[in-house]
Copies of this chain bind each other. A is one copy, B any other.
Amino acid sequence: MIPGKETEAIRAAGRRMDMLGWVPATAGNISVRLGDGRIAITRSGFHKGFIPEDGVMTVDLNGRPEQSDLRPSAETGLHCGIYRRFSQAGAVLHGHSVAATVLSRQAGAAITLADYELLKAFPGLPTHDAAIDLPVLDNDQDIERLQSRVTQIWDAVPQAPPGYLIRGHGVYVWADDMPGALLRLEALEFMLACELQSRRSP
């Protein structure tokens, strides 16, 4: 059983992401870490703006479904990779915006965000006078291999960046809880929207 509060938090996050245009078709997925350590995550194949009451299921930290007849989101392994690495992470959001998709397709290994007031929404950045390099990974249907590349990136830097992009596929962010994850997603998407506009009218 998943506590009703957690299911509702996931469904409400999906509605908000849909309103903002970040979960087209069946794109995107959403999860929270439950009190007992299990992960509640959206099932595969649903529109995230209209998650039904039974559209959330549980997996363990390695992504194994508790109920073997249900299929979790295809990228469950990326959610679990985040929960295993960051013990404080309580919620993970994967969105699929036009800005993230377009910029990630044009980017190299990272997108640099600098001098935005909204950088303060990320941990460890008390000022706008800063820069972060958001990793951009090539898309891969082999999620285990994709997660191992994410881990390599985390291992290579002293502090992991507050999210990452998959090329042509969208962003991943996380935070202590769902409200915090939504704030980070909105901050990140806002800066990506600014970048997309800026690059066009230099």
Q: Which of A32-40, A76-84, A165-173 contacts B (4 or more CB under 8 A)?
A: A165-173
Q: Which 9 A-B pairs have the closest CB atoms?
A: A117-B169, A25-B187, A24-B190, A25-B186, A200-B201, A24-B186, A25-B183, A25-B121, A102-B197
Question: Are B168 and A105 in touch, CB under 8 angstroms?
Answer: no
A134 adjacent to chain B (CB < 8 Å): no
A11 adjacent to chain B (CB < 8 Å): no
> What string of 1s and 0s marks CB contacts (under 8 Å) between A17-44 and chain B?
0000000111100000000000000000
Decide: A194 near B102, CB < 8 A? Known: A117-B166, A118-B27, A200-B201: yes
Most buried by B among A24, A96, A118: A24
Which residues between 121 and 142 of chain A lie within 8 Å of chain B, taking CB atoms? 121, 126-129, 139, 141
